[in-house]
Chain A
Amino acid sequence: MISGSDSQTEEGELVKASLNGDKRAFGEIVTRYQKMVARTVKGMLGDSVFAEDIGQEVFIKLYNSLSEFRGEAKLSTYIQRIAVNLTLNEIKRRKRFFSMFSQKGNSEMSEFEVADHEDEKRNDAAEIVNKALKKMDPKFRIIVTMRMLQGYSTKETAEILGLPLGTVLSRLSRAQEQLKRILEKL
């Protein structure tokens, strides 16, 4: 069993053990961060089976690039970056795919999927959040996901997305405007 009071040291030990092929150590990393990844992926892509595939891909990519993790940033930030990149790539891929088969304007709706049966189970708050995210531009949706679902500060959001602080602030303001318009109609 891995012990240690400092969580970063503990994470470092988990990373080292995972690099040595310790399944349980990597399983612990997955268990710790799967909810965080789910918030990003499902917040961006909607609640679909594809979201889980992307979630799995995030951890597979993490495992394959674990040797490159130097511990300069927090492990959560590193995982979050992978999640954001893979999700944005998936959105681009879906947009390209749907734009080939559908009329202009329909592609944006298609890249966000929500299973109907899942939607029925959701309560009011979850339904409002989901519907609002679905109608947002992906550029702003990622900002909303980082702030509203992950609870990151502006600085942390900028760090994860690799954007200047000013850009994040301006997108926050525009995302807020878009959210207001969307929520008025809900």
Chain B
Amino acid sequence: MDSSEIKKLIITSMDPDAAPGEIAGRLEDEGVSFDFRKGFSDRVIDKIFGVGLVVNRQVEFLRRFNSAFYRVALTGVAAIIILMISLFLMEGSISFNSFLGLGDSYDESIVCLLTGD
């Protein structure tokens, strides 16, 4: 088939009344074919099932990380509560100053402490 016939066939394929299946077949016979590289199917399967393993590992890591986070968080909350109770018992109140260990200090004494005078 020469180039003018091919061009005509291409244009005809756009006619609403044309038989596109037949035209596509004829073009394929003329070498108009598309395909992926050899081994495409294997590469897809490797990607899907390989990714699955990675995803499973990620899910497992997140699950363990969450459980570790909850343990650390609970211990932290318990430590904060114990610290506040001990502060209350020592200072008699839970103010910001007592929390920072500045219970009976005045501004002048802090300046002296910091400057060394």
Interface residues of A, Cβ cutoff 8 Å to B: 23, 26-27, 30-31, 34-35, 37-39, 42-43, 47, 51-52, 55-56, 59-60, 63, 122-126, 128-129, 132, 143-144, 147-154, 169, 172-173, 175-176, 179-180, 183, 186
Interface residues of B, Cβ cutoff 8 Å to A: 1-3, 6-7, 10-11, 13-16, 18, 20-25, 27, 30-37, 40-45, 47-49, 51
Q: Which residue of A lies closest to B43 (CB)?
A: A56
Instruction: Judge whether B32 and A34 touch: CB under 8 Å.
Output: no
Instruction: Judge whether B14 and A179 touch: CB under 8 Å.
Output: yes
Instruction: Judge whether B32 and A60 touch: CB under 8 Å.
Output: no
Given A56-B44, A122-B31, A175-B14, CB of A128 within 8 Å of CB of B36: no
Instruction: Judge whether B14 and A128 touch: CB under 8 Å.
Output: no
The CA of A152 and the CA of B24, in the complex, are separated in Å by: 9
Please name all residues of chain B whose beta carbon is closer than 8 Å to the beta carbon of A31 when the two chains form the complex.
Answer: 41
Instruction: Judge whether B7 and A30 touch: CB under 8 Å.
Output: no
In the A-B complex, the 5 residue pairs with the closest CB atoms: A151-B24, A176-B14, A151-B21, A125-B30, A148-B13
Please classify the interface of chain A as helix (H, G, I), strand (E, B), loop, or mixed, using the class held by over half of its residues. helix
Partner of A52 from the list B14, B32, B36, B41 (CB cut-off 8 Å) is: B36
Partner of A26 from the list B15, B24, B48 (CB cut-off 8 Å) is: B48
| B19 CB to nearest A CB, Å | 8
Instruction: Judge whether A151 and B32 touch: CB under 8 Å.
Output: no
The CA of A183 and the CA of B9, in the complex, are separated in Å by: 11
Could you list 14 examples of A-B contacts with CB < 8 Å? A30-B44, A34-B36, A34-B41, A35-B34, A47-B34, A56-B47, A60-B51, A124-B3, A128-B7, A129-B27, A143-B14, A147-B20, A147-B24, A148-B27
Partner of B40 from the list A52, A125, A186 (CB cut-off 8 Å) is: A52
Instruction: Judge whether A59 and B48 touch: CB under 8 Å.
Output: yes
Instruction: Judge whether B48 and A125 touch: CB under 8 Å.
Output: no
| A82 CB to nearest B CB, Å | 13
Please name all residues of chain A whose beta carbon is closer than 8 Å to the beta carbon of B13 when the two chains form the complex.
Answer: 144, 147-148
Instruction: Judge whether B22 and A151 touch: CB under 8 Å.
Output: yes
Partner of A126 from the list B31, B45, B47, B48 (CB cut-off 8 Å) is: B31
Instruction: Judge whether A172 and B14 touch: CB under 8 Å.
Output: yes
Instruction: Judge whether A148 and B40 touch: CB under 8 Å.
Output: no
The CA of A115 and the CA of B49, in the complex, are separated in Å by: 30
Instruction: Judge whether A55 and B40 touch: CB under 8 Å.
Output: yes
Given A35-B34, A148-B24, A149-B34, CB of A125 within 8 Å of CB of B47: no
